[in-house]
Structure 1
Amino acid sequence: MATPNELTAMRRAIAISAQGLGTTSPNPPVGCVILDRDGVPVGEGYHLRKGDHHAEVNALTAAGERAEGGTAVVTLEPCNHHGRTPPCRQALIDAKVSRVLMAVMDPTSRGEGGAVVLEQAGIEVERGVLEQEALLVLGPWLHSLRTGRPHITWTYSVGVDEDNGDYRVTELRCTHDLVIRRNGVIEEGTPGGHGEDSFRVPLPALGEEPGKALHALTEAGARTVLIEGSSNEMARLLADAVDRLIIDIPCTPSSSGSTAASGPGVPDGFRLANVKPLGTHIRLTADRPSGTSSRSATVLAQDGA
């Protein structure tokens, strides 16, 4: 069982792993915290881009000799293969940690898997620690692996001039690999943020067939794509592949003098996941359960444009 200190460390690892959103693809965004023998945090790190050190190595480097006999708390099972960087499970073995906690098992792990190799080296391993919380960051990457295409988010505003609403989506861009702007231009969410030779921005002409468009986005190395604007033609082309909606709806004065949201809400086929105020708007986040059609999303955007 994980101790309170270890659970706190895992939540910290999940939080810092989000620093890699929008730049690690095709690799996953991972975070790691190292605790010493007494359970005190002595190092942390996250993966930023393919070709750079992984989260475990960055955390072990920060911890130094204090990692020996301690615990590594990591959001994803340590890798078990030598790619552009050495396997992380070997770095943990060489650092002589005594215990490794992991939130999510890696479906891409080679051979027996990093967890098994760690156990064979005499290291205690705990699996599934705060797995659901870690999926807040790793979920879109895992979705891309499972479906063979990027996780697609469509964001738009209802009842306002979207050309004046760019400030509301600026923060979203940097957490996605690719952004398809309202005019059809495709951009890297964080310009120059991805590793060399592992990612590219595809040509804007993705074709008129959803399957071919999704294939082009996947081949570019994207695991997450953000589509902007209610009138975006790519949103209509890829309507059945939209996994998440982020909708900004305006507020109107209520009878008590406060404000209340007005306009269309979440369309059929999506489940409300989050609601928060955003200046003069309310932001709705809704996810589509697996197997549910997204065509109703197009209707909502048309109604609110």
Structure 2
Amino acid sequence: MRRAIALAATPGVPLHPNPRVGCVLLAPDGTVVGEGYHHGAGTPHAEVEALAVAGEAARGATAIVTLEPCNHTGRTGPCAQALIAAGVRRVVVAQRDPNPLASGGAETLRAAGLEVETGLLAEESEAVNPAWTFAHRHGRPFVTWKFAATLDGRSAAADGTSRWVSSLPARRDTHRLRALSDTMLVGTNTVDVDDPQLTVRDDDDRPVAAQPLRVVMGERDLPADRRIFDDAAPSLHLRTRDPEQALRTLYTEHDRHHVFLEGGPTLAASFLGAGLVDEVVTYVAPMLLGAGRSAVGDLGIPTIADAFRLELLDTTVVGSGPEANVRLTLRPTLRGTH
């Protein structure tokens, strides 16, 4: 199974919209007769690729798969049926499929007389597709809120200027994190005032090939010449101020699994207040402003006992010398825990 997980995590495989999956086929004597992994949407699934390598040697073999073989027909046929047709005798699965549209493969295999085991190294397998797994279990995308702030928690100076609170190395690191998501989300005020393009760029400031969906959330109309509406990447205007509705729409209508929230303090406060932030990434710059815009808006917290608490997962210095920022990665915990 560890080999199958390594195949699933092959560098360069897209993180979305499909899960990364690996498969190893073992002959009855334990010899590897086929391997495969999913290369991205529209390509053969891991099981099908491994079966093609194995050919007739797949008959009587054991399939080791990181994700339950799919049970539906999408761009490709159901992998459960492919395993049955190839004469595979036994299937060992790490993670059960949380996607209701594709799950049920284990039951189909058992009904056809195959021996099926599930749960082997399930957590390790889930770690290969964390946002995809979360989205299908919760019916909404995983949300990462990213912001940059000074030591005193300001995201902009008193005159509204905010370029640049974070350093160049921190901004490059932000683009690396943007590329891990499939959706960039900001509010109408950010688009109207800051006019961000919200694309992913490499270290030479060139746009990368695969761009996330750019989403602006809010009810008011926006000028058509805002950069978020250019042809550098796909874009969408969700005319709602309800974070829950926005996430539900992105999941059910646009198959989105990981939202990278880069809006201003008001939008951030609305997502935090709704309990819809799953991860926080902040770049802390070694500067003080003493006044200016806070990184997050009013959370309705009257006393310290009601504060939002976050668990610190990682601390990393990004850059060096005067360009150094500290990147904190945190996970929200229960509000009011003290």
Give the alignment's TM-score, normalised by structure 1: 0.70
Structure 2 residue 328 is matched with structure 1 residue 284: yes
Higher-Rg member (1/2)? 2
Q: Percent identity at matched positions?
A: 33
Structure 2 residue 38 is matched with structure 1 residue 61: no
Structure 2 residue 283 is matched with structure 1 residue 238: no
- Change in 2 beyond 3 A, CA 1:87/1:191: same
Could you list the per-position Cα deviations for residues 90-144 of structure 1 after superposition, in whole angstroms to 9, with x for gaps in the alignment? 1112222233221111233569921122223333322011111122233322322
Query: Given the alignment, which residue of 215, 227, 237 partners 2:261?
Result: 227
Q: What are structure 1's unaligned runs of at least 5 residues?
A: 1-6, 195-199, 253-266, 295-305
User: Counterpart of 1:303?
Assistant: none
Taking the aligned partners of 2:102 and 2:38, their CA distance within structure 1 comes to: 24
- Change in 2 beyond 3 A, CA 1:241/1:120: same
User: Counterpart of 1:144?
Assistant: 135
Taking the aligned partners of 2:73 and 2:266, their CA distance within structure 1 comes to: 41
Instruction: Letter of the 1:210 partner, please give it.
Output: P
Query: Given the alignment, which residue of 283, 294, 313 partners 1:273?
Result: 313
Q: What are structure 2's unaligned runs of at least 5 residues?
A: 151-163, 201-207, 213-232, 288-306
Contact preservation (8 Å) 1:79, 1:109: no
- Change in 2 beyond 3 A, CA 1:293/1:136: farther
Taking the aligned partners of 1:99 and 1:213, their CA distance within structure 2 comes to: 42
Taking the aligned partners of 1:65 and 1:284, their CA distance within structure 2 comes to: 52
Normalized per residue, the structure richer in helix is 1
Instruction: Letter of the 1:44 partner, please give it.
Output: G
User: Counterpart of 2:64?
Assistant: 73
Could you list the per-position Cα deviations for residues 187-232 of structure 1 after superposition, in whole angstroms to 9, with x for gaps in the alignment? 68775579xxxxx955245432323332343332211111237x46
How many residues were matched structurally? 261
Taking the aligned partners of 1:40 and 1:19, their CA distance within structure 2 comes to: 23
- Change in 2 beyond 3 A, CA 1:58/1:228: farther
Give the alignment's TM-score, normalised by structure 2: 0.64
Q: How does 1:1-305 map to 2 (within 5 A)?
A: 7-16=1-10, 19-21=13-15, 23-24=16-17, 27=18, 29-37=19-27, 38-40=30-32, 42-49=34-41, 51-109=42-100, 113-159=104-150, 161-162=165-166, 164=168, 165-180=170-185, 183-184=190-191, 201=234, 203-218=236-251, 219-228=253-262, 231=264, 233-239=266-272, 240-249=275-284, 268-280=308-320, 281-289=325-333, 292-293=334-335
Contact preservation (8 Å) 2:142, 2:258: yes
Range that drifts further, 30-39 or 81-90: 30-39
Range that drifts further, 56-65 or 141-150: 56-65
> Aligned-pair RMSD on alpha carbons?
3.6
Range that drifts further, 89-98 or 105-114: 105-114
